[in-house]
Structures are given as C-alpha cells and as structure tokens.
Amino acid sequence: MGSVGAGASDAVHDPSACPGECERPIAYSLDPQFNADEQLLIEQAMGVWEQGTGGRVCFAPGGRDLVIEKLDRSDELQPWDPEWPRHVALTKGGRIWIVATRVDDPGEYRALVVHELGHRLGIGHIEDTATTYMHSTINDTPQELWKHALLPERDARAFCDVHRCTCAY
Ligand SMILES: [Zn+2]
C-alpha cells in the first residue's frame, strides 16, 4: 500500500492477459526429411507468430506438442483429409503435414507454414481482409506477406480472440 514508482506496474497486472507463454512453450519436432532450407523457413514461420503476438506464443524444439511432417505426395493426406486434392498442407491435432513438392517459392513456403501454425493455434480462415495469412486459399495471401513475413494485426487479433487475451491492438 502506498508504494508508487517503479514497482507500481505490478498492481495493474491484467488477469485476462495471456500468460507468459514462453514459460510453457509449444515443444515441436520436425521431420528429419525437411532439408536445411525448409527447416529454416519453418523456424522463421514460428518466429512470425512469436514476434507478431508479442511473445504470447513460443515454440521450442524437442517435444511432441507439435509434430511437423513432410509428405512427398498430397494423396498421402487422403486418410485424414477428404479435400486432399486441393491441399498442400494439413493441420490436425498436434500435427502438421506439408506436401513439399508442390511449393516452389521460399516465401510461399514460409507463408504456408505460418498459415498452418495459425490453425495449430486455433485460428480459422479469415476472409474479411486482404492482409492475412489465414485465407482459405494460399494463392490469396498477399505477395508482401511472402516477402516480409510480418504477422498482420488482423491475425494477431484473431489469436487474442481465440485465446481470450487482452490485446492492445
Ligand atoms: Zn487453412
């Protein structure tokens, strides 16, 4: 009581703010079939969410909260995905499958992974703005998001809606 100054910010801790997720990171494993370039792009895609949510999401290697696997052909999605002919990736439960051979551009590849990670984080498709990674069709993702890999505010807000966080956007 009565203390003001440097320590006072503790008093305004918001109980609805997302907890420090880096204390409970999403522990992930990558299929060893991903080559070094692909692994780097996947890690960059994780960084898009980590930075874009202000650290409310955190990924750490070495666990099975999230397993990302590489597939050679999209028909390998068939057992889990009735719409497999249209898809180059699928997220289900703690797994993401990526059909590598159908993605050529590195920026597109990273955007695809950002999209699938968004699903893993509980976010659905977003069609009320052009500037989102969460279009239902990967080709609708703006080229600027292939190049710059910055999470749009709309996507950060979607994360906060799903996780019921207080977000100052
Ligand atoms: Zn999707």
How far does residue 136's CA lie from ligand 1's centre (Å)?
Answer: 5
| DSSP-derived pairing of the beta strands 89-92 and 95-99 | antiparallel
Q: Indicate whether 59 pLDDT > 80.
A: yes
How far does residue 33's CA lie from ligand 1's centre (Å)?
Answer: 23
Q: What is the mean pLDDT of the chain?
A: 86
How far does residue 102's CA lie from ligand 1's centre (Å)?
Answer: 16
Question: pLDDT-based confidence at 132, cuts 50/70/90?
Answer: very high
Q: Report d(CA 50, CA 167) in Å as an integer.
A: 14
So what's the pLDDT on residue 104? Answer: 79
So what's the pLDDT on residue 84? Answer: 87
How far does residue 134's CA lie from ligand 1's centre (Å)?
Answer: 6
25-36 per-position pLDDT tens digit: 999 999 999 999
User: By C-alpha distance, which of 28, 16, 41 is closest to 121?
Assistant: 28
So what's the pLDDT on residue 139? Answer: 85
Q: Indicate whether 54 pLDDT > 60.
A: yes
Please state which CATH number belongs to domain 19-159: 3.40.390.10
Q: Indicate whether 101 pLDDT > 80.
A: no
Q: Indicate whether 106 pLDDT > 70.
A: yes
Question: pLDDT-based confidence at 20, cuts 50/70/90?
Answer: low
Q: Report d(CA 149, CA 26) in Å as an integer.
A: 20
Q: Where are the domains of the chain?
A: 19-159
User: By C-alpha distance, which of 52, 67, 54, 62 is closest to 131?
Assistant: 52
What global pTM score does this model have? 0.86
The separation between the first and the last C-alpha atoms of the chain, rounded to the nearest angstrom, is: 31
How far does residue 90's CA lie from ligand 1's centre (Å)?
Answer: 7
So what's the pLDDT on residue 86? Answer: 84
Q: At what angle do helices 106-120 and 153-162 cross, to 10 degrees?
A: 20
Tell me the percentage of the chain whose pLDDT exceeds 70. Answer: 82
